[in-house]
Copies of this chain bind each other. A is one copy, B any other.
Amino acid sequence: MSDTMKQIVLASRPDGAPSADNFRLEEAAVPTPGDGEVLVRVHYMSLDPYMRGRMDDAKSYAAPVPIDGKMEGAAVGEIIESKADGFEVGEFVMGGFGWATHAVAPTAGLAKVDPDTAPITYSLGVLGMPGFTGWFGLTEYGRPKEGETLVVAAATGPVGSMVGQVAKSLGLRVVGIAGGPEKCKLAVDHFGFDACLDHHAYDDAGSLRKALKEECPKGIDIYFENVGGKVLEAVLPMMNQHGRIPICGMIAWYNEGGLGANAAEQTLTGPKLWRTILVNFLSVNGFIISNHWNRIGEFHKAIAPKIADGSIAVQEDITEGLENAPEAFIKLLTGGNTGKAIVKLI
Are B274 and A250 touching (Cβ within 8 A)? yes
Nearest CB of B to A259, in Å? 5
User: Which chain A residues (35-72) contact chain B, with CB distance < 8 Å?
Assistant: 59-61
Of A23-31, A286-294, A306-314, A325-333, the one touching chain B = A286-294
Q: How far is the CA of A335 from the CA of B284 in the complex (A)?
A: 29
The 3 A-B pairs of least Cβ separation, nearest first, read A268-B270, A278-B286, A277-B286
Identify A278's interface contact among B249, B256, B265, B275, CB under 8 A: B249
A117 within 8 A of B: no
User: Which chain A residues (258-281) contact chain B, with CB distance < 8 Å?
Assistant: 259, 264-265, 268-275, 277-281
Q: How far is the CA of A346 from the CA of B37 in the complex (A)?
A: 81
Besides A60-B279, A268-B270, A282-B284, 19 other CB < 8 A contacts? A59-B279, A61-B279, A225-B274, A228-B274, A247-B277, A248-B278, A259-B271, A259-B275, A264-B271, A268-B269, A270-B272, A270-B273, A273-B273, A273-B274, A277-B286, A281-B287, A281-B291, A282-B285, A283-B285
Q: What residues on B are CB-neighbors of A287 within 8 Å?
A: 281
A153 within 8 A of B: no
Query: Chain B: which residue is nearest A287 at the CB level?
Result: B281
Q: How far is the CA of A280 from the CA of B61 in the complex (A)?
A: 7
Most chain B CB within 10 A, of A256, A272, A273, A280, is at A273
Nearest CB of B to A50, in Å? 11
Query: Chain B: which residue is nearest A236 at the CB level?
Result: B270
Tell me whether A274 and B59 are in contact in the complex, defined as CB-CB below 8 angstroms, given that A259-B269, A269-B269, A286-B281 are known contacts.
no
A154 within 8 A of B: no
Tell me whether A288 and B284 are in contact in the complex, defined as CB-CB below 8 angstroms, given that A250-B271, A259-B271, A268-B271 are known contacts.
no
Are B274 and A247 touching (Cβ within 8 A)? yes
Are B272 and A259 touching (Cβ within 8 A)? yes
Nearest CB of B to A249, in Å? 7
Q: How far is the CA of A277 from the CA of B259 in the complex (A)?
A: 14
Nearest CB of B to A247, in Å? 5
Are B291 and A286 touching (Cβ within 8 A)? no
A166 within 8 A of B: no
A232 within 8 A of B: yes
A253 within 8 A of B: yes
Identify A288's interface contact among B272, B281, B286, CB under 8 A: B281
Q: How far is the CA of A58 from the CA of B34 in the complex (A)?
A: 67
Q: What residues on B are CB-neighbors of A271 within 8 Å?
A: 228, 250, 253, 256, 259, 264-265, 268
Q: What residues on B are CB-neighbors of A273 within 8 Å?
A: 270, 273-274
Q: What residues on B are CB-neighbors of A265 within 8 Å?
A: 269-271
The contact sample of 26 A-B pairs, CB cut-off 8 A, is: A61-B279, A228-B274, A232-B270, A233-B270, A247-B274, A247-B277, A250-B278, A253-B271, A253-B275, A256-B271, A264-B270, A264-B271, A265-B270, A268-B270, A268-B271, A269-B269, A270-B272, A270-B273, A277-B285, A280-B286, A281-B285, A282-B286, A283-B283, A283-B284, A283-B285, A284-B284
Q: How far is the CA of A256 from the CA of B275 in the complex (A)?
A: 11
Q: How far is the CA of A282 from the CA of B287 in the complex (A)?
A: 8
